[in-house]
Structure 1
Amino acid sequence: EFGRYASGDILEPLDNYIDMKSADVQDFIAPVLRLYNKDGKQLALPHFAATQLLYYRPDLFEKAGIKRPPQTWEEFRNDCELLKKADIQCTALRGQPDTGEN
């Protein structure tokens, strides 16, 4: 939604408010902060950011006959099929109850 609002010029830049409150924007991860910046003006502040990682277990890949981790999403899908055939769950996602991530 941010992109739509930013391109519609309906957001007020926050720069003056940030200066008035002596907010330390250095507390934010710079690339994430820049996601909410347009034409050098800070239009929003990030509420949440997370790094998504993909881990694999070499022992389970070996059991399923997979020689290396996938390099593409197509390889990932194919590897999932091989894992399922070996009765191994392909993916597990982090999350906790009532966070919308479970």
Structure 2
Amino acid sequence: EFGRYASGDILEPLDNYIDMKSADVQDFIAPVLRLYNKDGKQLALPHFAATQLLYYRPDLFEKAGIKRPPQTWEEFRDDCELLKKADIQCTALRGQPDTGEN
């Protein structure tokens, strides 16, 4: 939605508010903050950002014949098939749903 609002020039830049002492944008991760910046004007502030990462067990990958962690979603899918053939569960997710999980 942000892109649509930003391109429609209906958002008020937040720069004057950010300049106030009570707003410290240094608390935000810089690349995430820049996602909400257009033409040098801060039009929004991120309210949530997460890092998606993969933990893996090299011993189980080796058992399944996988030489390195996947670099793409296609490799991830293929590796899951190899793990399944070796009777190893491919994924485990944390205990609560998040974006993209349903």
Interval of TM-score (by shorter of Structure 1 and Structure 2): 0.7 to 0.9
Q: Conserved in 2, the CA contact under 8 Å of 1:95 and 1:101? A: no
Contiguous gaps of at least 5 residues in structure 2:
none
Deviation at 1:100, TM superposition (A): 8.5
Deviation at 1:23, TM superposition (A): 1.0
What is the RMSD of the two structures over their aligned residues, measured on CA atoms?
A: 2.4
For the residues of structure 1 that align with 2:77 and 2:100, how far apart are their CA atoms?
25
Deviation at 1:17, TM superposition (A): 1.9
- CA shift digits 1:44-87 (9 cap, x unpaired): 00101111111211111122122222233322211110111122
TM-score by length of 2: 0.83
- CA shift digits 1:10-47 (9 cap, x unpaired): 11111112224531111111111111111111100010
Residue matched to 1:32: 32
Residue matched to 2:81: 81
Sequence identity of aligned pairs in percent? 99
Q: Which runs of 4+ in 1 moved over 3 A?
A: 97-102
Paired positions, count: 102
TM-score by length of 1: 0.83
Residue matched to 2:65: 65
Contiguous gaps of at least 5 residues in structure 1:
none
Q: Conserved in 2, the CA contact under 8 Å of 1:94 and 1:101? A: no
